[in-house]
Amino acid sequence: MISVECPNAEKGIQSEIESARAQMNRLADELGVRHPAVVRASQMLDELLLQYYALTTGGMRIKRSLGRGF
């Protein structure tokens, strides 16, 4: 997880998000959106987005149901 004290944390996580998004899109194009590798990539992107949200909102906690059905 990226530290809130790091002045470049926001730019760093934005870069990670863009990279993860591009990788997920490549996998989806190659394997289809329901492939387990694409689902895992999507979950990793979700985690990065949650970290970014926490970073930009002062560390507010987010109640999640990831992995428990939608």
Q: Are 41 and 32 in contact (CB under 8 A)?
A: no
Query: What distances in angstroms separate CA 56 from CA 30, 51, 63, 65, 68, one per listed residue?
Result: 33, 9, 16, 21, 26
Say how many domains are in the chain: 1
Domain assignment present for residue 16? The answer is: yes
Q: What is the pTM of this model?
A: 0.72
Q: Is residue 23 part of a domain?
A: yes
**Residue 70 is assigned to a structural domain of this protein:** no
Q: Which of 3, 17, 14 is nearest to 45 (CA)?
A: 17
pLDDT computed for residue 6 by the predictor: 61
- pLDDT bracket for residue 48 (50, 70, 90): very high
Give the SS3 label for residue 55.
helix
Residue 25 is assigned to a structural domain of this protein: yes
pLDDT at position 1 is: 45
Task: Give the range of the structural domain holding residue 51, as residue numbers without chain letter.
Answer: 9-56
10-47 confidence digits (pLDDT tens): 889 999 999 999 999 999 999 999 999 999 999 999 99
User: Does residue 46 belong to any structural domain of this protein?
Assistant: yes
Q: Is residue 19 part of a domain?
A: yes
